Amino acid sequence: MASTSYSNVRMFLVILLCSSAPYAEASEFQALETFKSGLANSEGIAEWGRKSSPCSWAGITCRNGSVVAVSLPHLGLQGTLASSLASLSNLAVLNLADNQLGGPVPSEYWTLEKLDTLDLSLNNLNGTLSSDIQNLKRLKNLNLAFNSFSGKLDPAISSCSGLQTLNLNSNQLTGKIPEQISQLSNLQVLDLGGNGFSGHIPLAIGNLSDLQVLDLSNNFLLGSIPLSVRQLKKLKALYISNNSITGPLPKTIGEMAALTDLRIGYNKISSSLPREIGKLTNLLSLEAPSCILKGPIPYELGNLRSLVKLDLSGNQFQSEIPSSFGKLQNLSFLFFSSAEINGTIPPALGNCRKLKAVILSFNDLSGALPDSLADLSESIISFSIEKNRIEGQVPAWLGKWQLSESILLAYNQFHGDIPPELGNCSSLTYLSLSHNQLSGSIPSELCNCKFLTQLDFENNNLTGSIQKTFENCEIPEELWSSDSLLQFSAAFNFLQGELPSKIGNLVLIQRLIIDNNRLQGRLPKEVGNLQNLLVLSLNHNKLSGDIPVELFKLSYLTSLDLGYNSLTGRIPDDIGELKELEYLVLAHNQLSGPLPKGITKGFQQSSIPDTSYLQHRGVFDISMNRFSGQIPEQLGNCTVIINLLLADNNFTGEIPASIFRLPNLVSVDISSNRLEGKIPNEVGDAKKLQGLMLANNIIEGGIPSEIGKLQQLVKLNLSRNELKGELPASIGNLRSLSDLDLSSNHLSGVIPPSLSKLSGIVSLHLQQNQLSGNLGELLTGSSWQQIGTLNLSLNMLDGDIPNNIAHLSYLTSLDLHNNRLSGTLTRYLSNLSQLQYLDISENLFYGPIPHELCNLGELRFLNLSSNLFRGEILDCINSKAKSFQNIGDLCEYSAKEHCKTRIRWTSYFIEMTLILILSLGTVLSILWLVLAFLKRRTLMMGGVKPILQNMGESGDNLLNSRVAMFKQTSLKLTFQDIVHITNNFSSSNVVGDGGSGTVYKGVLPTGQLVAIKKLGKARDQGNREFLAETEAIGRVKHENLIPLLGSCSFKDEKLLIYEFMANGSLEFWLWNKPGALEALDWNIRLKIAIGTARGLAYLHHGVVPPVVHRDVKPSNILLDHNFEPRIADFGLARILSVGETHVTTEIAGTFGYIAPEYSQSWRSTTKGDVYSFGVIMLEIITGKEPTGFEFKDVQGGNLVGWVRELVEKGKEVECLEVEVSDESKGMAQMLQLLHLGLHCTSEDPFMRPSMQRVVQCLECIIVNKGAMQVDQC
């Protein structure tokens, strides 16, 4: 009986188990279907549900009929995470990485107790990490990297005791790293980089004895490296770069024998490297740039026998390179730029026979180059010792470096001749010998370097005739068929003689730049043979004669600069053949005659020509010549023109109305001609106009009210014309106006009160008109907080000087002479603490001179003459240019006793006999008119010279204007210091020039190399607003943004001080830099892409309010010594918008990189930045510039259209640059980036991803090493 019961129970259990399997399968079917149906895009799992069992579905793994793994990475899934997946009770692996899933993680997920691996990386997930994560006791791998999780890291995660990998990189987590994390004793990978963690590194971190990778980089961590790290015996990679770590690098680091990769850069480790670091014999890479490390450099570094890369740039060693480095037999990359290295280059470096790149630029190295370096001939590719004190002759043994692609020896003290042996460097593409003391001629043997693309000999003492340079120079056959860039640049030298006729043999040359030399004679007609020439620049020479007609056969020419020569004759009609011309400078010559009609055939391109001078595009400058006739009406068809500069010629007739319809017009200067007629009403159509200069003509009529429509106008100069009528009230609408000059006309009527609304005005000149009104009414409610110069002299103003003039605290010059102003002189003038020039002569002021004027310590010129003052003359005013003639009845302090009676007598008549004074009014009026007439003559003859003569005396005080530093707060700089370190802003220090300003190199007193951007003549900007804006930008911190170290606002100069980037811009490496194919291998290009994306993502998503860059392009992506990208000029749009006063040639962006929608809205957005970034990615992948003639037959006429066309034909592989895509891994990743680049450049801005999403996609591509399918990002 018992046996029968037992059999029945057993049978029941079997039946129950058998029946439960289908039930479990059905519930899991339903859970997965619910997950799929909740997705906005489920194409990647479209086949789900076609088979009844989920175990046969893609991405699903089952065990015993139950789902144990859901693995769906890289499928482009969109939507939110469905809580239904939590019903998969046996789930051990959930991998949804690299999709487009958003929202928080459902709380039900934390109940999956069997979960072993959870990978949700590379999505758009947000929210906080729940403390319920402690329920996942079996969890071994947790990867939530590259999402938007925020809040603090909950200590409850320490309950996941089996955790081996914890990756939370690139989120928005904040707070301290919990000490409890040290309880995860099985942890092998801990990656918390790219968050906002603060506080100290946990002291108990050393308890993680199995740890192999520790990444805490890119946070805000403080304090020192804990000594407990010595316990991490298995650690192979330690990344703590870009924090605020202080204190010394512990000596115990030498006990971490397993280390292969140590990155501690961009911290504040202000100590020496410990000698014990030499014990890390397995170390492959030691990167410690910009750590404020001190010397000496330990000799023991020579024991690192496995070392491949050593980067100690940007430190303060003040010591020599140890000779022990000669033992580093595996060293391939040595970076020591800007590290305050001194002494000589050790000869032992010649023993490092695997060295590929040696960068020792911007130090204090001296002596000669050691001959032992000749032994690097079988490995060296890039060698740079720029900005040192290396001396002696350029060694002839450099000719043995046949693999070398770049040799940069600029800014040293080399002397003697250029060795002809350099012509043996068969791989050389870039040779820079500028800023030395080289002499002799340029050796013709350099023509043997068949791949040479850039020569830089600027600022030497080179002599001889340039004809001889090419006399025996035969261009190699290979080069004649090459489509690579060939440039010859020898600007800023002493080259003389005539340009040789044989220069016409260089038929492949694209850029010929020989500015600032002593070339003379005629421009040879053989220049017409250079059919591939894009840029011809011969500015500042002594060329003479006519411009040869043959020059205008160069149909590809985009940039022609012959300015500052002695050219004569007329411009040939053949100039109409240059239809691709977009930059023309013929200024400062002796050219004459009328402008040919053909000159308007250029500047009309619908697509952008292939040119590296995009920042100068749209410049039409023929000023300072002898041109005559009328200005062609057809100039209105030249839609590319941005700057139209026709000043100082003999043009007659009227101003053509058509020029004001040019869509990109920013600046017009037609001053100093003989133009007549009226200002066209169409002037109001030039919506982008920032500068309008029509001074010194014979223009008549009134000022059109339409001028008030120019909302972006910064400078307006209509002085010295025959303008009449009243000032239009609409001028008050020009809120961007900083410089207004309407002087020396015949304007009349009351000065409109609307002028007081010019909140940006800095310089206002209305003198020598017939304007009337009351100064008090004009200043009541005035917005002139930034005004520095106010000249209302020689008008008919009445009333007194109001007390509220004290509000003009930045005023440096006030000229009210020769008006009808009266009353007593307000003591509140003493509040104008910066006042240097004060002239109120020839008015009707009376009473005593206020003693408070003694407080004007900066005053350099004072004229109170021809008024009715009484009392004592003040001798306490610190001025050497006093003028008290005919001041009234006054006595000097030193003569009081001799004139007391006269003072009482005069006071009696002034105060008690007003009738008598009025009866003399006629006589006084006549005298006043005579004085006014004489004063006008004096002014016209140069009578304002006293202030100019005395300005020099205040120079020393003014040069002490402080530089606002956002880093290194203990360093105090003045404008004079900046003048000194840039050699008075010498052209020899120029490293870049763009529409926003010129960039100079300089070395701070601390030895740090900086880049100083001079924003041009900016005297019209508001100092406080400028400094406040730059200080805000200076606080923006990210490793992929170039740091703004400080700013300076002095008089008419505005300066920005940046960290200097050793490797220049991406533009130079892509198109001009030697060794690009070797140095910019695919890994480096990928690094540049992801770094740039991170920087833009931070500007768009990590700053409040978001910063739109507006001009993302390769020249604004700078590369540090490690080729880490740093975005430049971010925030510059905000700085310039505060008070930009120079007339920039830039629209918001650079042609080729501007999003298509910008031409419709003229508004810059984050989506426009995404488009620009997409173009850069396509450049990196294809090796092609964004525009060019090769794209003329494709849609859009640009690189984007060309790539899109090939992709649509299934020929995307043909887009790739062959030299970079030779590895299968590289090709797969390149294809992925190609599709991502097309996504970023979508015509519809709403279809473009955010930069945050772009970062996630790029990280996914890197992590998966090309394994994911194309288009799944």
Residue pLDDT, tens place only, 492-541: 666 777 887 777 877 778 888 888 788 889 999 988 888 888 889 898 89
In this structure, the answer to whether residues 920 and 976 fall within a common structural domain is no
CA distances 34 to 75, 210, 1170, Å, are: 18, 41, 35
Predicted pLDDT of residue 444: 77
Over 90: is that where the pLDDT of 767 sits?
yes
pLDDT of 858 above 70: yes
User: 1061 and 1119 in contact (C-beta within 8 Å)?
Assistant: yes
**H/E element, 924:** helix 921-940
Question: In this structure, are residues 804 and 829 in contact, taking their beta carbons and an 8 Å threshold?
Answer: no
Average pLDDT, stretch 766-774?
94
Instruction: Give the C-alpha separation, 1083 to 1262, whole Å.
Output: 9
1107 and 1243 belong to one structural domain = yes
Full residue range of the structural domain in which residue 815 is found: 800-958
Residue 732 CA neighbour count, 13 Å, CB half: 13
Is residue 216 over pLDDT 90? yes
Confirm whether pTM is higher than 0.75. no
946 inside domain: yes
* 752 part of a folded domain: no
Same domain, 805 and 928: yes
Residue 314, domain member (yes or no): no
pLDDT tens digits, 1209-1252: 878 888 887 666 554 456 778 888 899 999 999 888 878 888 88
Which residues in 208-239 are b (16+ Cβ under 10 Å) and which e? beebbbbbbbbbebeeebbebbbbbebbbbbb
Same domain assignment for residues 1237 and 1140: yes
> Could you identify the residue written with the tokens 């509140």?
828
* Cβ-Cβ contacts under 8 Å for 554 (sequence gap 6 or more): 527, 528, 530, 531, 533, 536, 578
- The question of whether 1111 is a catalytic residue gets the answer yes
Mean pLDDT of 356-384: 93
324 assigned to some structural domain? no
Q: Is 579 annotated as a binding residue?
A: no
Q: What is the CATH number of the domain that holds 1176?
A: 1.10.510.10
Between 1144 and 588, residue with greater pLDDT: 588
Q: Domain end: 929, 958, 987, which one?
A: 958
Judge if 966 and 1106 occupy the same domain: no
Coil/strand/helix, residue 1015: strand
- Is residue 554 situated within a structural domain? no
Out of 75-84, 262-271, 1132-1141, least confident range: 1132-1141
Preceding amide of 1105 cis, omega within 30: yes
Q: Give the contacts of 637 (CB within 8 A, at least 6 positions apart).
A: 600, 604, 658
- Cis status of the peptide bond prior to 1249, with omega within 30 of 0: no
| 72 and 101 housed in the same domain | yes
Dihedral sign for Cα atoms in the order 892, 898, 904, 906 = negative
Residues 6+ apart with CB under 8 A from 1105: none
pLDDT category of residue 900 using cuts at 50, 70 and 90: very low
The CA radius of gyration of the chain, in Å to the nearest whole number, is: 37
Rounded to 5 degrees, what angle do the CA atoms 1146, 1152, 1154 make? 65
pLDDT single digits (tens) 784-816: 878 889 999 999 999 999 988 888 888 989 999
Same domain, 856 and 924: yes
Banded model confidence at residue 821, pLDDT cuts 50, 70, 90 = very high
Instruction: Inform me whether the pLDDT recorded for 6 exceeds 80.
Output: no
Confidence bin at 1111 (pLDDT 50/70/90): confident
Cβ atoms of residues 222 and 246 within 8 Å? yes
CA atoms within 13 A on the CB side of 693: 20
Q: In the 8-state DSSP scheme, what is residue 917?
A: H
Whether residues 1049 and 1071 fall in one domain: no
For residue 415, the model assigns a pLDDT of: 93
- Average pLDDT in the 1094-1115 region? 82
Q: Is residue 262 part of a domain?
A: no
pLDDT for residue 489: 67
What is the Cα–Cα distance from 977 to 984, expressed in whole angstroms?
A: 10
- Give the C-alpha separation, 126 to 1042, whole Å: 29
Catalytic-role residue among 815, 1111, 1120, 1169: 1111
| Residue position matching structure tokens 């991502």 | 1236
State the Cα–Cα distance between residues 1208 and 1229, nearest whole angstrom.
Answer: 19
CA distance 493 to 939: 43
**Mean pLDDT of all residues in the chain?**
81
SS3 state of residue 192: coil
Q: Write down the pLDDT at residue 94.
A: 95
Containing 408, the helix (H) or strand (E) segment is: strand 406-408
- Residue 18 sits in a domain whose CATH number is 3.80.10.10
Q: Are 930 and 822 in the same domain?
A: yes
CATH of the domain at 940: 3.80.10
Q: CA 316, 339, 241, 970 torsion: positive or negative?
A: positive
The predicted pLDDT at position 1132 comes to 56
Question: Above 50 in pLDDT, residue 1156?
Answer: yes
Residue of 430 and 263 predicted with greater confidence: 263
- Phi and psi angles of residue 256, each rounded to the nearest 5 degrees, phi first: -90, 70
- Predicted confidence (pLDDT) at residue 336 exceeds the cutoff of 70: yes
Q: What is the pLDDT of residue 390?
A: 94
Q: Hey, which of 322-331, 1004-1013, 1152-1161 has the most confident mean pLDDT?
A: 322-331
Q: Check pLDDT > 60 for residue 1024.
A: no
- 1012/963 Cα distance (integer angstroms): 12
Q: What share of the chain is helix, strand, coil (3-state, %, to 5)?
A: 30, 20, 45
Q: Annotate 1019-1086 with DSSP letters as a single string.
A: TTS-HHHHHHHHHHHHT---TTB--EEEEEEETTEEEEEEEPPTT-BHHHHHHT-TTHHHHT-HHHHH
Q: What is the pLDDT of residues 1044-1080, one digit of tens each?
A: 888 887 666 788 888 888 788 888 788 755 455 566 7
Q: Which two tokens stand for residue 279?
A: 């014990």
Picking from 965, 978, 959, 943, the residue whose alpha carbon sits closest to that of residue 1030 is 965
Percent of the chain with pLDDT over 70: 80
pLDDT digits (tens, 9 = 90+) for 592-639: 999 998 898 888 876 544 343 444 578 999 999 999 999 999 999 998
Task: Note whether 1085 and 1147 are same-domain residues.
Answer: yes
In this prediction, residues 556-582 reach a mean pLDDT of 91
Q: What residues does 150 pair with on adjacent strands? A: 172
Same domain flag for 929 and 1049: no
For 909, residues 6+ apart whose C-beta sits below 8 A from its C-beta are 916, 917
Last residue within a domain, chosen from 927, 958, 989: 958
Q: Name the 3-class secondary structure at 82.
A: coil
Is residue 617 included in any domain, yes or no?
no
User: What is the spatial distance between Cα 1007 and Cα 1010, in angstroms, rounded to a whole number?
Assistant: 9
Q: What is the mean pLDDT of residues 418-439?
A: 89
What is the model's pLDDT at position 1138? 35
Distance of alpha carbon 995 from alpha carbon 961, whole angstroms: 26
Listed residue (549, 555, 545) closest to 578, CA to CA: 555
Q: pLDDT at position 447, please?
A: 74
- Do 578 and 602 touch, CB atoms closer than 8 A? yes
pLDDT value of position 366? 94
Nearest to 648 by CA among 622, 619, 620, 672: 672
**What CATH number does the domain containing 1037 carry?**
3.30.200.20
Residue 1147 tokens read as 């629209």
What is the count of structural domains for the chain? 4
**Does the residue 928 lie in any domain?**
yes
Of 1060, 1090, 1109, which marks where a domain is finished?
A: 1060
What does each C-alpha distance from 1170 to 472, 744, 1111, 1122, 1243 come to in angstroms?
Answer: 50, 50, 11, 25, 12
| Shared-domain flag, residues 119 and 83 | yes
Percentage of the chain beyond pLDDT 90 is: 40
